[in-house]
Amino acid sequence: MSVARGRDLLLKVEDEGSFMTVAGLRTKSIRLNAQTVDVTDMQSNGWTELLPEAGIRSIAITGSGVFRDAQSDALIRSAFFAQTVLNAQMILPGFGTITSPILVSGLTYGGTFKGEATFELTLVSAGEPVFMPS
């Protein structure tokens, strides 16, 4: 993966067959998780042994920003309240694109008296992702 600007990392969600960028995000991150299954026993000679391909894998995407686009805001908000699964893409410049069904598991709104209104979101995988290298 080559050097890339953070603003080029994009989060997109599918709406009516096409992917739209979730507007206003200032920070974005994606975490790929793989839980392990420990099968260590007396014959392991003091070393941890893990069972390959046995744990649960997941993706968590987080982001925060300011309101910029009513359409993407409404799509995220309605998916949260209805707890419907959306398709999302995380575009990682110089690395590839991860497309996955996701569920909006967290949505926070905030703001300060002299500042802008902000939001934070957390998306979790709701199925098997697909990775396409750049």
The CATH number that applies at residue 71 is 4.10.410
Q: Quote the CA–CA distance of 19 and 74 in Å, as a whole number.
A: 14
In a domain, 93, yes or no: yes
In a domain, 82, yes or no: yes
Question: What pTM was estimated for this model as a whole?
Answer: 0.86
In a domain, 77, yes or no: yes
44-69 burial, b at 16+ Cβ within 10 Å, e below that, comes to eeeeeeeeeeeeeeebbbbbbbeeee
Residues 4-46 pLDDT 10s: 787 888 999 999 999 999 988 999 999 999 999 999 999 999 9
In a domain, 1, yes or no: no
Q: Quote the CA–CA distance of 53 and 91 in Å, as a whole number.
A: 26
Domain range enclosing 101: 6-133
Q: How many domains does the chain have?
A: 1
**22-26, 36-40, 56-60, 117-121: the lowest-pLDDT one:** 22-26
| Mean pLDDT over the full length of the chain | 92
pLDDT of residue 31: 94
